[in-house]
Structure formats: structure tokens, C-alpha cells
Amino acid sequence: MTQIKIFDTTLRDGEQSPGVNLNQLEKLELAKQLERFGVDVMEAGFPASSQGDFNAVKKIAETVKNVSVAGLARAVKSDIDACWEALKNAENPRLHVFIATSPIHMKYKLKKSPEEVIETAVEMVKYGKQFFDHVEWSAEDASRSDLDFLAKIIEKVIDAGATVINLPDTVGYTMPREYGAMFRYMKENVPNIDKVDLSCHCHDDLGMALANSFAAIENGATQVEGTINGIGERAGNASLEEFGVALAIRNDYYPYQTNLVLKEIKRTSDMVSKFTGMTVPGNKAVVGRNAFAHESGIHQDGVLKNAETYEIITPELVGVQSNNLVLGKHSGRHAFTDKIKQLGFTLTDDKIKEAFVAFKSLTDRKKEVTDDDLFAILTDIQTDTSNVKRYSLQEFKVQYGSSDKPSATVTLHTPDDDIIEKTATGQGSVEALYNTLDQIIKEETHLTDFQLNSIGKGRDALAEVHVSLTVEDVHVTGRGSAQDVLEAAVQAYLNGVNRAIYRTTTDKV
């Protein structure tokens, strides 16, 4: 069985999804979960892009030990220097350096001739090789590049020291047969190609990311790049959980294997969804809530008689539990702490105490506490910004009737240690609350997106609200959960504002 390496870029390309904004704690928790998931390489970020990204990459590099941690760099010495400074304490650091090779990119973006692009690529690979044993070189927009030119530059960067050659379908343009043919061409026309791993990186603009990834490994690629839940720029990337499960289910067809721990899929998917605010569609392959649901009477009858009639993937394979009712009103702290570890979180003693208080408060109002409920509590705890001054909710009231204009009264404890109460109206209850908050919050805010979801089922299910907003021109996201929809909406808004304050105060978000 040929070993296929998995290069996860959830923390870099995935975080570039519109509206996604992860802080350092969230990135670190995701990194530890990706390590448990069994990825071979983890692209932790783009260190040169900001001080916050640099700090997050550095912390991840110093924490995870069983994964090669990579940083992205343009073909610029200062970018490579930033990668080394962030990654030098990693167990197995890796540089990922890229430059565009398609005619349209070279002419209009780089404004360089093909010869100049080759010279720059070779020079930067050699420079990076002074620091890193492993250097991955990417030909941006490879799928729209001239094949002869691509073969020429690949040969030279391999001679310069590259250990991985990545041929991305950067704009999701190519079709499987074309993409596979590009890899086959390089295998046949680059004399030193056997010295490196060939890697594929596919975007899903035309819905071909996963199919193109399989076309690549059928034609010589030994590394697949992608993200959890397929998140990423524009329409996203190849979905790694789908790739891993497809290889496992169709091992009769594909003689390949990975190091992925498939039972960690559900937990990894949930964590990415919660932290990014990107809800997994119900019909999403492998991890969607309908993946194992059978509504048709014929399907139900078949599944009851023999699950394999309509179910090619068992829920247990990807870590879905048929009954996840785990803790209740009488559960103690020891059981709660064990459950935190099972869910993949690492919390300090103070955070565990805080989470346990929130859990006990929830059990007073909710009879059955599920994994999803606990997940909501723990993800909220991880976004806490209590180490800097912040806004905190003291009380809110909403007056609403079918024939009356809603009004809201909110009392906040401000970063200046003042207690301020204001009242405002709106066309709806949420707008009234947000108008009131804007009267108290001194920073200039602008709401750009509001999403409401249910955690679990039933009348006592938790409401979860995700918001996107700008705070003094800083784009942030906020998340809040509560049994009351309006309370969740207020907490999400305040969470976003506090994250912006934390970011501008410490530059660590």
C-alpha cells in the first residue's frame, strides 16, 4: 500500500475563509486536535502576515510534537526569515514557499519574465534550505501554467534543495483528467522528480477539489493538501475527512493508505465548525447531520434489515456516537474533567472551574446535557478575554408585543469599570438590543453578519449565535450560546467586541 501524506492547511488557507477570525487559543486547540487526527504536516499560518499570526505559529510549533509544522512564505527573504523565527523551536519545522508560474500571474501580478521567476524561485529555495531541512515549493496557479515551463522550473528548484513540489489548482479551474495529466507529465519529463514528494492542493470553485485530488494520486502525487470541512478561500479546499474516508471505504480500488485516525473526524469537524462559525451543511458528505439519516421508507426498511444496503459508512467509523447523553445534574467534577479530555480540550485548572460552574448552571435548566452542549460551553471558555479589560453583561430586559415596537434595556460593566444602563428601540428584539449596546460601547461597531443555530434538539436546546462585525475597522467574529436566543445574541456581540479590544491591546488574537 502506497503511503499518502496528509498536509492540513485548515489553520492557514482555512482561516482565509471570508468571515473567519481565529484567536491564538482557538488555533492552538485546533492544532492539538489535528495532531490527534493524524495529519502528517500542519500549515499553522503565514508568519509574515501579522504579529498575531507569527505568535500563533510560534506557539503551535512549540506545542505539537508528532506533526511537521509548516509556515507559508512568499518568495521573499523577509517572509522566510519570519517563518524560521516562528518555527525554529518546532520538532520538525517545514518551509512552504510559493511563486506564481502561470502566464497571467507572471505578467499581471508579478510583472516578471519566466526567466526572472525561475531565478527568484531557485534563489529563495536555496535561501530557505539554509534554515529548513524540509522545503516545499509551490507553483501558484500550476493548473494554468505551461507544462514545459513548469517542468523546467521544477527541475531547477529540486536541484536547489526543494523536498516537496506542490502543483496547486489555485483557482479551482481544472478538470480531473487535465489535473492528473499534469502530474503524469512531470513524472515523465522532470529527470530528478523521484527525489521529491509530489503534492496536490485543490480548490473547489467548480466542485472538483476532491475528484482532482484523487486524479493527482492516481498519477503520482504522494501528498494531498486540504482542510477540515473543506473550508478555505472562496468555495474552499479539498475536504480531508472526505478524502480519508473515501480511501478507507474504497481500499478495494485504491492501493493507498494514510495516517489519519478516522474516529477523530467528528470531533475535529465539530471543533472547526464551532471555532470558525461555519456551520456544516446537513447534506455534507461524511460529517453532515444527514449523512446517516434515512427518511425514505424503502431506505429505512433496508437499513433495518441490513445496514449495508444503504449505509456504506458506519457512524462509528468517523466518531459519531448513537447516544451522547453523558452528564447530568448529579455528575461530579472528576467525571466532568474526564469528559473535557474526551472531547479533546486542554484547559487550565481555572478554566476547568469556570467551565464546571457553567455546566452546573446548565444542568439546573436543562435535563439532558449532551456532548454538543458541553462543546458549546468549552468553546465559549476558550474565547474568554478576561486577561484584558472588557465589556460584560450585567442585565438586559426586552419589551415586545405584536403591536408594539420592541425596546431593550441593557446594563453593562465597561472596560473603564463603569456600570452603564441604556435603553433603545428597534424593528425587532435583536435590533433593539444591538442598538442599545451601540449606545454603551464607545468603540465604533458595524454588524456585517448574524447567524442563529440550535445546539441539539428539543425545547430546551441551546441557541448559538455567530456574528461578524467591524470594531474600529478591525474585522472580528463573535460567538455566544444560551438557552435564551436573545441572551445568546447579546453574548455573541459582546464577545466580538471584546475580541477586537483584546486584539488591539495585545495583538495576540
Residue 474 phi/psi, 5-degree rounding, is -95, 120
pTM: 0.88
Q: Average pLDDT per run of 10 along the chain, which is 509 residues long? A: 96 91 89 97 97 95 97 98 98 98 97 98 98 98 98 98 98 98 98 98 98 98 98 97 97 96 95 91 91 56 62 87 63 84 81 88 77 79 65 95 92 95 96 97 95 84 92 90 94 92 65
Please tell me the distance from the alpha carbon of residue 7 to that of residue 23, in angstroms, as a whole number.
22
The pLDDT value recorded for residue 40 is 98
Q: Three-state DSSP class for 401?
A: strand
The pLDDT value recorded for residue 305 is 64
What Rg do the C-alpha atoms of the chain give, in angstroms?
A: 25
Please tell me the distance from the alpha carbon of residue 382 to that of residue 25, in angstroms, as a whole number.
6
DSSP 182-243: HHHHHHHH-TTGGGSEEEEEEB-TTS-HHHHHHHHHHTT--EEEEBGGG--STT-B-BHHHH
Interstrand relation of 68-74 and 93-100 (parallel, antiparallel or unpaired): parallel
Over residues 254-285, the pLDDT tens digits come to 999 999 999 999 999 999 998 998 999 989 99
